[in-house]
């Protein structure tokens, strides 16, 4: 085994080699300064350098995402160039005439990463189009399909903290413009590793790429309003872009569809990569909608619509009996799925073309009840729209983390802008009929059962302990959770039906309850998704009873996981 001195010498050499090829003076200076501190014995600097250089930021089906700083285990220009080079080699392997469209949001360095990618793609002779300015992720996803590109890249970290950035990859053709899945991720990752083993100065670059005008954005706006327009502009609604890139495009879609001008949250309309008014730029987070709620109360609005910073997710808040409340992703998905089913059967009649409603496995089973009632197909997938978007005959899909796909023809990914347009249409029709959002949820429960969901997380100090926790659940499976008997167990470890092998356990409970346990993909914790159902009484009572059971199960699951941790 090498000595500590030899290990540090190897780390020093790796840092110096990286610095020699880093074109970013900020990350380069940071690494040089940190190495100087490490040389004089600063233990924190040594530990930080080891963390940055002990491995590479992993490329997978979600692309890349991580904190921006120097080193192979962070997001930076070197890592992006290596990734772009590897992707370019994959594309030229796959097609004699590959093409790509590249988009980016307004985060720190997004425009630079996009330009680096465009230059490297063009250096390989790949037909390359760079979108003209920071734009929503759905515009990029739309462009891959609309102009029939072999691939698309979106530089974004979605709703991650300000210091993060990311790199999402889409494939066209037979992949329908969806995000990559296995084995494509592994094939691309292998080419990236190959590129990373070489010197960055050997990567061919060219400025022979095109920068798009506004025509693709306008085409997206037209597509986003083709399936619904209204002459009822009575709904007053607040919109927040959460300091992201949604305001300009969303506003154009909403007004072209016939809705009134959105009431903007002034402090959050314009892109700001530091997200100064929110602790975390995710509309699911507590407090994230506080400014929007204040704006809605001051303006007498009927509804709040929020997108996350890259506008691929949708959050909604509405006045309930006890004040303004944010709807859960499952509640929005239930209402939009119900609406999609009604529109499909009303406009097409029966017999109708095959149509499928789809959710991720951990989302509410409420959509299955809708599909069953309307005679539609229903599919559960693994988490992520890379799976939902590939479901054949898809009519509507969602996952509980505020992702909704309402137009599979236009965009094969979650789209917070077209989903917002659809929810505005729903809210407008409800208002015209004198029905509130809360009353609509009660009606849903009357027709399809009361559904409620909760989540529980068991955090551990070391991610390796997650395997021990799931092993315990497999070796000694629970026979009941709380006082509800376990009526069935499904273990996805070896794959079930259309699901590939996954570390997921599902427990079906009496009275329609369900608990799904899986490791977090990004943090050292085990996550439990809890669903409860009630069919007793009126809709409001069904919802209340399901919510009470879900809370009870959440407490029981917390105890169960803590006892095994």
- Whether residue 183 is preceded by a cis peptide bond, meaning omega within 30 degrees of 0, is yes
Task: Give the integer Cα–Cα distance in Å for 452 and 432.
Answer: 28
Q: What is the dihedral of CA 191, 196, 197, 203, to 10 degrees?
A: 90
- Whether residue 351 is preceded by a cis peptide bond, meaning omega within 30 degrees of 0, is yes
Q: What string of DSSP letters covers 181-246?
A: -TTHHHHHHHHHHHHHTS-GGGS------EE--SHHHHHHHHHHHHS---S-----EEEE-TTSS-
Task: Give the integer Cα–Cα distance in Å for 250 and 303.
Answer: 15
Task: Give the integer Cα–Cα distance in Å for 496 and 519.
Answer: 18
Q: What does each C-alpha distance from 108 to 74, 137, 162, 294 come to in angstroms?
A: 14, 16, 8, 29
- 182 part of the active site: no
Which residue in the block uniquely carries the two structure tokens 């016939």? Answer: 258
Helix, strand, or coil (residue 497): coil
Q: What string of DSSP letters covers 382-447?
A: -SSHHHHTT-TTEEEEEETTTEEE--TTT-SS--HHHHHHHHHHHHHHHHHTT--HHHHHHHHHHH
Residues 404, 314 contacting (CB under 8 angstroms): yes
Region of residue 400 (left: phi > 0; alpha: psi -120 to 50; beta: else): alpha
Query: Any residues with CB less than 8 A from the CB of 100 and at least 6 apart, and which?
Result: 91, 121, 126, 127, 128, 129, 149, 150, 151, 152, 153
Task: Give the integer Cα–Cα distance in Å for 528 and 458.
Answer: 8
Task: Give the integer Cα–Cα distance in Å for 340 and 398.
Answer: 12
- Report phi then psi at 426, rounded to 5: -60, -50
Which residue in the block uniquely carries the two structure tokens 């023809």? Answer: 409
Active-site position among 158, 363, 364, 453: 158
Closest residue by Cα to residue 389 from 129, 172, 64, 165: 172
Task: Give the integer Cα–Cα distance in Å for 411 and 87.
Answer: 22
Task: Give the integer Cα–Cα distance in Å for 105 and 464.
Answer: 34
Active site residues: 158
């Amino acid at each position: 085994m090498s000595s500590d001195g030899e290990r540090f010498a190897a780390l020093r050499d790796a840092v110096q080699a990286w610095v020699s090829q880093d074109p970013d003076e900020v990350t380069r200076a940071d690494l040089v300064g940190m190495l100087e501190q490490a040389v004089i014995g600063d233990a924190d600097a040594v530990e930080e350098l080891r963390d940055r250089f002990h491995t590479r930021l992993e490329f997978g089906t979600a692309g890349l995402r991580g904190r921006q700083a120097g080193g192979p285990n962070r997001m930076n220009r070197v890592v992006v160039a290596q990734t772009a080079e590897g992707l370019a080699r994959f594309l030229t392997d796959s097609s004699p005439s590959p093409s790509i469209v590249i988009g980016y949001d307004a985060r720190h360095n997004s425009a630079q990463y996009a330009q680096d990618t465009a230059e490297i793609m063009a250096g390989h002779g790949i037909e390359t189009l760079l979108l003209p300015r920071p734009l929503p992720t759905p515009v990029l996803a739309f462009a891959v399909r609309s102009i029939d590109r072999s691939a698309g890249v979106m530089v974004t970290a979605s709703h991650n903290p300000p210091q993060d950035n990311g790199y999402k990859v889409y494939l066209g053709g037979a992949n329908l413009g969806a995000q990559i899945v296995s084995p494509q991720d592994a094939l691309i990752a292998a080419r990236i590793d190959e590129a990373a083993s070489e010197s960055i100065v050997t990567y061919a670059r060219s400025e022979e790429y095109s920068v798009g005008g506004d025509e693709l954005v306008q085409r997206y706006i037209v597509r986003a309003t083709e399936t619904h327009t209204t002459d009822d502009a009575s709904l007053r609604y607040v919109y927040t872009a959460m300091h992201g890139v949604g305001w300009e495009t969303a506003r154009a879609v909403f007004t072209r569809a016939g809705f009134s001008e959105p009431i903007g949250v002034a402090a959050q309309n314009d892109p700001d990569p530091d997200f100064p008014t929110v602790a975390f730029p995710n509309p699911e987070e507590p407090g994230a909608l506080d400014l929007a709620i204040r704006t809605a109360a001051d303006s007498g609005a009927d509804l709040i619509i929020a997108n996350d910073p890259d506008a691929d997710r949708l959050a909604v808040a509405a006045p309930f009996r006890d004040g303004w409340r944010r709807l859960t992703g499952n509640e929005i998905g239930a209402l939009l799925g119900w609406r999609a089913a009604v529109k499909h059967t009303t406009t097409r009649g029966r017999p109708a073309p095959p149509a499928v409603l789809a959710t991720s496995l951990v989302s509410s089973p409420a959509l299955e009840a809708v599909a069953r009632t309307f005679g539609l197909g229903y599919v559960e997938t693994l988490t992520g729209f890379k799976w939902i978007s590939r479901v054949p005959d898809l009519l509507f899909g969602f996952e509980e983390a505020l992702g909704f796909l309402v137009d599979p023809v236009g965009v094969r990914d979650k789209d917070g802008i077209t989903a917002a347009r659809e929810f505005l249409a729903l809210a407008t029709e409800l208002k015209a009929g004198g029905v509130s959002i809360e009353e609509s949820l009660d009606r849903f429960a009357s027709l399809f059962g009361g559904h409620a969901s909760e989540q529980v997380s068991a955090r551990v100090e070391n991610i390796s302990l997650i395997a021990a926790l799931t092993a315990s659940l497999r070796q000694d499976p629970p026979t009941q959770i709380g006082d509800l008997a376990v009526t069935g167990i499904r273990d996805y470890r070896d794959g079930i039906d259309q699901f590939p092998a996954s570390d997921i356990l599902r427990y079906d409970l009496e009275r329609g309850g369900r608990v799904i346990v899986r490791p977090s993909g990004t943090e050292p914790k085990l996550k439990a998704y809890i669903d409860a159902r009630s069919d007793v009484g009126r809709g409001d009572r069904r919802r209340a009873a399901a919510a009470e059971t879900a809370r009870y199960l959440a407490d029981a699951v917390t105890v169960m996981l803590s006892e095994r941790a």
